[in-house]
């Protein structure tokens, strides 16, 4: 593997991790679990599930893009 390929691999991994954390942060509204009311926790849980589906769709899109 060339140096360029190695750099791309590391950057892609960091970018994916950053996108995932950003999605999680947006889903929770940037608040901690302890600071939320029970209704807000329920909404945050639903948002995390939606975010999980979004990540799965991204993953599927990447797999399709390889072919």
pLDDT tens for each residue of 15-31: 888 887 887 777 767 77
Residue 3 has pLDDT above 70, yes or no: yes
Q: How far apart are CA 30 and CA 37, in angstroms?
A: 14
Contact (CB, 8 A) for 29 and 51: no
Indicate the burial class of 41 (C-beta count within 10 angstroms; 0-12, 13-18, 19 or more).
middle
Global pTM value: 0.53
């Amino acid at each position: 593997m060339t140096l360029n390929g190695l750099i791309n691999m590391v950057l892609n991994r960091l970018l994916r991790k950053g996108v995932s954390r950003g999605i999680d942060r947006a889903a929770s509204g940037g608040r901690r679990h302890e600071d939320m009311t029970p209704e807000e926790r329920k909404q945050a849980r639903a948002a995390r599930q939606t975010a999980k589906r979004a990540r799965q769709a991204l993953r599927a899109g990447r797999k399709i893009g390889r072919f």
